[in-house]
Chain A
Amino acid sequence: MSQIKNMKQMERKLQRADRKQSRLYLFCNFTALMIISAYSALMLSPTVQKVFPKGGDSAKQMYAIFVMTLVGCVVFTIYALGLFFRHKSGQLGILMALGASRKRLAPGLYREVIFLSGVSAAAGTVSGFPFVWVIWHAFRLLLVDSSDMALTFDFRCLFISLLFLLLVVGFACLTAWRYLKKTNIMEVIREEHINEPVKELGRWCGPAGFLLILAGAVLGYGAPWACHVWFSTYPPAWVSVFYAPVFVGLYMVMLHTVVHGWKSHRKNPYKNIISRSMMKFQGKQTVNNLLVVTLLVAGGCFAIFYLPTNCVSAMVRYASQPYDYFYKYQVDQDVPDRETVEALGREYGLTFKEWNECDYVTLGIGGNTSVFEEDGLHYHTEYVPMVGEAKILSEDAYQTLTGQQADVKPGTYMNLTNQEESFFYTNESAKELTNMTTRKQLATEFAGFLHYDLLTEDIPCCVLDNGDYAAISEGLTDDWRGRFVGFNVDGKDSYPFADAFYHLFVSAFDESCERPRYYDRVQKIRENEAGIEYWGDTDDFTVISYELSDAFAFRQNWVYQPDFRILNQNDYLRSMAVMFMMFLFIFIVCMITALVVCHTRCQSIALNNRYIFDDLKKLGASPAFLDKEVRSQCSNVFKVPSLVGMTAMFLLFSMILYANDGRMLMTEWAAMGVCLGIIAVIGCVIYAVYRSTVKVIRGQLGIV
């Protein structure tokens, strides 16, 4: 006798039988929610939030890639849902044809989709936390660990996952409702076989797409510059629309891939005609999927390229600095003197050589600054006599410290920059220097550059004629006076010494020096005197604390942060760990999402065209031929978006590095070389997933 007595029991049995069909949907839902919940958990965790400066470029990049990942997840979730319903529609159609009304089918169908979507989404959301915890701790265990990296969660991030979960369940119900609403039952039954061809464009669309991508990149990158130069205005947010041609171009490139492919078919128009046609008739979704994968691969590359471009230049800078230990301090601070440092060095078996130190003063320097017009949009450049701070050395002090001779004429100043003259914080427009204690001024003018990397920082550093230096620094109080010290280790350096010295050094400063490098005392005085509150004294200002002297924010921003080569070399990754690991995590998430989209798309192309493969078999196609067709389909899905995404990001990074100062430095060439290596590794991973996808599809289509 039959075990099935009613609709509910029948639906349950059919669901059990359809487990295979549901698996892909469950997998996609689970993966999407896991990725979203893991990304949002990490992105909004206090661990990351305290490291990424609010409104900074890194934070913006992190949010932008999150949005991209979100779009990717939405696309593949909706697509997996579509696939699930394509299979389900046959069953629904039969039941409708046999007289099941909408009301009769609705409860079971809604129950099934809500259960599948809800359970997979909830499981994904919950798994996001262990997922991020495991990856983060793997980073800590295998790559780098620091006190900054202690992972804590702000569970408000669940709000994003919850929204996505509701979207998944809501969209599943909406799709179910859409199917139930259909009056043409034959359409429901045949749904699985309905094609979705894309509107064809000529063979020009691919090359035109590449041109548009290029044009969009140049326009998008150049638009902010044009705002400054041509319109004297800060670029508004909408200026990003100039990047729009990039997306149109990408669409056209993907369309070309789907419709025409990239090989010429003139000689043999029948070559690969089956795989091209298969792809073309699933065109709409394929193009959308390829587009999303391209963006995800590009996002992943953008994140991962951040590491070498930052690391390589920093490592080269540390390796080439002329002093093992270089630091500065205000003379009113009780900083360990040479004897104390040498005594500490002896405790670690170190002796020092080439010990050099010299005085400097901090003065107010004149210069051009941007002043907003009344409309709040445009600005003009205005000369201000005390635009900000400048560190000033005499010719003799400069020679003592650097060993270089500086011949500075009275009434002039020479500005320090790095060897490549690629440094931004120079001042070539000063007409006077101001003693901030006596307010005495010295007329001066720019006389050229001197080059010394260690003296280039956010505050301009200048060298004056010995006489001018003595005259302008007369009467200056100690809080405006400072000292540069540099020395080398005789023999092999010791990290424990550097660490001990660093902490001793930091502990010597009082709270008057507990400020970041971009806190400008001259600007504060000028603005306060004009009745304006200095922005550095407002709540939004990033406060730093001696108690967190090992933290990323402190080491990046403290005004007297010393340059200890061995400390920087060893602690660089550790102090930048959270930022780097976040970008590494973003890369992993983007790549997982992209690979899941590719895998799903390949599966859907294969499953939707199962009948074509069956027909081809009947027409005598050999397994080798069928295998070639499968590989050709999958290769287009994996290859083109990966190549376009990776190449676009490589070119964009090269363009950014070049556009920074109009040339490529050795460190930048080295960084791009590393990026190329990373591309090769990513390519291998993508190839491995492609192979595994082909194997799965071969099994599904029964190609032996």
Chain B
Amino acid sequence: MLYVKDLYKSYETGKNKYEVLKGIDFQVAQGEFVAVMGPSGSGKTTLLNCISCYIPFDKGNIRLGSMELAGMNEDALARVRNTKIGFVFQDFMLLDGLTIRENILVPRIVQGEVKEEAEKLADQLADMFGIGHILNKYPAEISGGEKQRAAVARSLINNPLIILADEPTGNLDSKSSRAVIETFGNAKEQMKATIFMVTHDSFAASFCDRVILLKDGTIYRQLEKAQERGAFQDQLLDAIKKMGQED
């Protein structure tokens, strides 16, 4: 589903050049729920932004399904972002002037005319994620957890190949975090969604099938979930602790 090969990305500030990603290689299979963890500055968000084509990368290949993203023109990339990728941001990024139903429908609106079928799907997604009762409210009128669940519903409205989530629980309390992660779980189970999530939160990561640990722009280690969630979280915490001790 997602193939990332030999990915490099650097930032320039004045005369200084900072290499953030230094040859990243990994794959995500269809229907897989994968998390990326790592300390601040390890390149997690940069990796996600490169995959979602929000920022250009220096070198390497990113293949989504059968499409090679490097070298695509702006229009084609926009089509990919609209139809093949669903994105969930840390700070929700809902449009304040639209209702929750309208926010969920934005990717469809961007595509063209909104049909009845899309509206029904929006309602179904909202019901599935427990936000059916707030569809006519505006973002300012609902809680952070509800906003994020609306954002997850939005990311699924076009039935994308993959959902990319950047710290989706970063701004939420533990109850809302759990609700959002369960939303991802539902999406994976019921819609066969492929999810690629960047997180600091070992609790959120413990729901995933696999966790990629990043350190200084390279993959430090990958952990497969072979046990129940609590034990996997312990395994993650141990790996992170070990990674920290190696500095």
A interface residues with partner B (beta carbon < 8 Å): 1-7, 10, 13-14, 16-18, 91, 94-104, 183-187, 189
Interface residue ranges of B68-120 to A (CB < 8 Å):
74-75, 78-83, 85, 87, 89, 93-99, 101-102, 105-107, 109-114, 119
Q: Which of B49, B53, B96, B110 contacts A98 (CB 8 A)?
A: B110
**B142 contacts A by Cβ under 8 Å:** no
Interface centre among B54, B96, B107 (most CB of A within 10 A): B54
Inter-chain contact B55/A10, CB cutoff 8 Å: no
Interface of A is mostly: helix
Query: Is there contact, CB below 8 Å, between A102 and B74?
Result: yes
Distance A96 CA – B98 CA, assembled complex (angstroms): 16
**Can you name 24 A-B residue pairings with CB atoms under 8 Å?**
A2-B101, A2-B114, A2-B119, A4-B109, A6-B113, A13-B98, A13-B102, A14-B97, A17-B98, A91-B95, A94-B106, A96-B78, A97-B87, A97-B89, A98-B81, A98-B110, A99-B79, A99-B81, A99-B83, A101-B75, A102-B75, A183-B74, A184-B54, A186-B54
Chain B residues whose C-beta falls within 8 Å of the C-beta of A189 in the assembled complex:
93
Per a CB cutoff under 8 Å, which of B74, B83, B97, B113 touches A5?
B113
Q: Given the known inter-chain contacts A4-B102, A184-B55, please indicate yes or no for A100 contacting B110, CB distance below 8 A.
A: yes
**Complex CA–CA separation, A3 to B97 (angstroms):** 13
Q: Which residue of the partner chain, among B52, B78, B89, B122, contacts A102 with CB atoms under 8 Å?
A: B78
> In the complex, what residues of A have CB within 8 A of residue B93's CB?
94, 97, 189
For window 17-54 of chain B, which residues contact chain A by CB distance below 8 Å? 49, 52-54
Counting CB contacts under 8 A, is B65 at the interface? no
Q: Give the docked Cα–Cα distance between A637 and B82 (Å).
A: 45
Among A2, A5, A16, chain B packs the most CB atoms within 10 A around the CB of A2
B-chain residues with CB within 8 Å of residue A3 when the two chains form the complex: 102
Number of A-B contacts (CB under 8 A): 98
Q: Which chain A residue has the least Cβ–Cβ distance from B54?
A: A185
Apart from the given pairs A4-B109, A99-B82, 18 other A-B contacts in the complex at a CB distance below 8 Å: A2-B101, A2-B102, A2-B114, A2-B119, A10-B102, A95-B106, A95-B110, A97-B89, A98-B154, A99-B78, A99-B79, A99-B81, A100-B78, A104-B110, A184-B54, A184-B56, A185-B54, A189-B93
Known: A183-B56, A186-B54. A6 touches B78 (CB 8 A): no
Contact check: which of B55, B97, B101, B112 meets A17 at CB < 8 Å? B97
User: Which residues of A sit under 8 angstroms from B81, Cβ to Cβ?
Assistant: 96-99
Write out, one digit per residue, whether chain B residues 217-228 have a CB within 8 A of any chain A CB (1) or not (0): 000000000000
Judging by beta carbons under 8 Å apart, are B78 and A94 in contact?
no
Least CB distance from B85 to A in Å reads 8
Q: Nearest B residue to A183 by beta-carbon distance? A: B56
- Inter-subunit contact A5/B106 (CB<8 Å): no
CA–CA, A115 to B75, complex, Å? Answer: 26
Minimal Cβ-Cβ distance residue in B for A7: B109
B53: chain A residues at CB < 8 Å are 185
> What are the residues of chain B within 8 A of A14 when measuring CB–CB?
95, 97-98
Closest residue of B by beta carbon distance from A15: B97
Contact B112 A6 (CB under 8 A): yes
Contacts of B158 in A (CB 8 A): 99
Q: How far is the CB of B21 from chain A (nearest CB, A)?
A: 15
B49 contacts across to A, CB distance below 8 A: 186
Tell me which residues across on chain B come within 8 A of A16, comparing CB atoms: 97
Contacting B97 at CB < 8 Å: which of A18, A95, A96?
Answer: A18
Q: What residues of A have a CB within 8 angstroms of the CB of B109 in the complex?
A: 4-7, 10
Residues of chain A contacted by B87 (CB below 8 angstroms): 97-98
Q: Are A185 and B55 in contact, CB atoms less than 8 angstroms apart?
A: yes
Interface size class of B (residues with CB under 8 A): 35 or more
A374 nearest CB across to chain B (Å)? 57
**Chain B residues near A18 (CB, 8 Å)?**
97
Question: A-facing mask of B118-134, CB < 8 A → 1, else 0?
Answer: 01001000000000000
Tell me the nearest residue of chain A to B155, going by C-beta: A98
Distance between Cα atoms of A1 and B102 in the complex (Å):
9
**Inter-subunit contact A99/B97 (CB<8 Å):** no
Residue of A nearest to B112 (CB): A6
Residues of B with C-beta under 8 A to A183: 55-56, 74
Task: Tell me the smallest distance from the CB of A95 to a CB of chain B, in Å.
Answer: 7
**Residue from A13, A91, A186 in contact with B55 in the complex, judged by beta carbons closer than 8 Å:** A186
Q: What residues on B are CB-neighbors of A10 within 8 Å?
A: 98, 102, 106, 109
Bound state CA distance, A467 and B109, in angstroms? 105
CB distance from A193 to the nearest CB of B (A): 11
Please indicate the chain B residues that have their CB under 8 angstroms from the CB of A91 in the complex. Answer: 95
> In the complex, what residues of B have CB within 8 A of residue A186's CB?
49, 54-55
The answer for the CA separation of A372 and B206 in the assembled complex, in Å, is: 94
In the bound assembly, the distance between CA atoms of A14 and B97 in angstroms comes to 5
How distant is A3 from chain B, measured CB to nearest CB, in Å?
8
State A100–B158 Cα separation when bound (angstroms).
Answer: 13
Question: Top 5 closest A-B pairs, CB basis?
Answer: A99-B82, A17-B97, A101-B78, A99-B81, A185-B54
B residues less than 8 Å from A95 (CB atoms):
106, 110
Give the complex CA separation of A16 and B96 in angstroms: 11
How far is it, in angstroms, between the C-alpha of A96 and the C-alpha of B55 when the chains are bound? 12
The answer for the CA separation of A102 and B98 in the assembled complex, in Å, is: 21
Contact B52 A97 (CB under 8 A): yes
Contacts of B56 in A (CB 8 A): 183-184
Complex Cα spacing A187 to B122, Å: 29
Which residues of A sit under 8 angstroms from B105, Cβ to Cβ?
2, 4
**What is the CA–CA distance of A183 and B52 in the complex, to the nearest angstrom?**
12
Contacts of A94 in B (CB 8 A): 93-95, 106
From B87, B93, B109, residue with most partner A Cβ within 10 Å:
B109
In the assembled complex, how far is the CB of residue B162 from the closest CB belonging to chain A, in whole angstroms?
A: 13
A98 to chain B: closest residue by CB: B107
Query: What separation, in Å, do the CA atoms of A6 and B112 have in the docked complex?
Result: 6
Chain B residue numbers with a CB within 8 Å of A6 are 109, 112-114
CB nearest to B120 among chain A residues:
A1
* List of A residues within 8 angstroms of B97 by Cβ: 13-14, 16-18
CA distance A91 to B74 in the complex (A): 19
**Is there contact, CB below 8 Å, between B114 and A4?**
yes
Q: A98–B114 contact, CB under 8 A?
A: no
Q: How far is the CA of A487 from the CA of B82 in the complex (A)?
A: 95
**Residues 154-170 (chain B) with a chain A CB within 8 angstroms:** 154, 158
A187, B107: Cα distance in complex, Å: 20
- In angstroms, Cα B87 to Cα A10, docked, is 20
- The answer to whether B107 touches A4, judged by C-beta atoms less than 8 angstroms apart, is no
The answer to whether A103 and B102 touch across the interface, beta carbons within 8 angstroms, is no
C-alpha gap A389/B150 in the complex (Å): 93
Shortest Cβ distance from A5 into B: residue = B114
A487, chain B: closest CB distance, angstroms: 81
Q: Which residues of A contact B75 (CB under 8 A)?
A: 101-103
Given A2-B119, A102-B78, are A97 and B110 also a contact pair (CB < 8 Å)?
no
CB of A98 within 8 A of CB of B54, answer no
Give the residues in chain A near B98, CB-CB below 8 Å. 4, 10, 13-14, 17
Residue in chain A with minimal CB distance to B79: A99
A residues near B154, Cβ cutoff 8 Å? 98
Chain A's nearest CB lies how many Å from the CB of B131? 15
Q: Are A97 and B54 in contact (CB under 8 A)?
A: yes
Contacts of B94 in A (CB 8 A): 94
Could you tell me if B110 and A7 are in contact, using CB atoms closer than 8 angstroms?
A: yes
